[in-house]
């Protein structure tokens, strides 16, 4: 399977899951996967939410941030992956001066 994100329209999303600021994303979504190249812009966050569809894996490409999953806080920086298991609650916050760029993959189960 080939997914060409260049052919998927970019969306700008204000306050995702009651978060703050803005993020941009190109979303691929089917019955098995959700794959989302994402940029959380400076000052932005994805609000705290329960992960319902599957494990949420976020690989950090650029920028700095913080993830909180079920009360455990983790620093986000290039080269690390934050995984929030299905059923857990988490938030992701851009703490830096540039976009927090990540690739999010959810394998639905």
Compute the half-sphere exposure of residue 28: CA atoms within 13 Å on the CB side of its CA. 18
Identify the band that residue 109 occupies on the pLDDT scale cut at 50, 70 and 90. Answer: confident
Give the integer Cα–Cα distance in Å for 60 and 63.
8
Report how far Cα 97 is from the mean position of its chain's Cα atoms.
18
What is the CATH number for 83? 2.60.120.10
- What whole-number percentage of the chain has pLDDT above 90? 92
pLDDT in tens, 41-52: 999 999 999 988
Domain of 49 in residue numbering reads as 11-108
**24 occurs within a structural domain:** yes
Q: What is the mean pLDDT of residues 6-16?
A: 94
Number of folded domains in the chain?
Answer: 1
- pLDDT band at residue 92 under the 50/70/90 scheme: very high
Residue 1 lies in a domain: no
Is the whole model's pTM more than 0.75, yes or no?
yes
Q: What is the pLDDT of residue 43?
A: 95
Identify the bridge partners of residue 27 per DSSP, sorted by sequence position. none
């Amino acid at each position: 399977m080939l997914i060409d994100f260049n052919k998927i329209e970019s969306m700008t999303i204000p306050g995702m899951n009651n978060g703050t600021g803005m993020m941009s994303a190109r979303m691929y979504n089917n019955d098995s996967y959700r794959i989302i190249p994402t940029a959380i812009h400076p000052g932005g966050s994805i609000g705290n939410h329960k992960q319902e569809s599957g494990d949420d894996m976020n690989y950090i490409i650029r920028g700095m941030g913080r993830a909180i999953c079920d009360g455990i806080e983790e620093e986000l920086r290039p080269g690390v992956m934050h995984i929030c298991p299905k059923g857990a609650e988490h938030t992701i916050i851009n703490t830096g001066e540039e976009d927090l760029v990540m690739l999010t993959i959810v394998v639905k189960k």
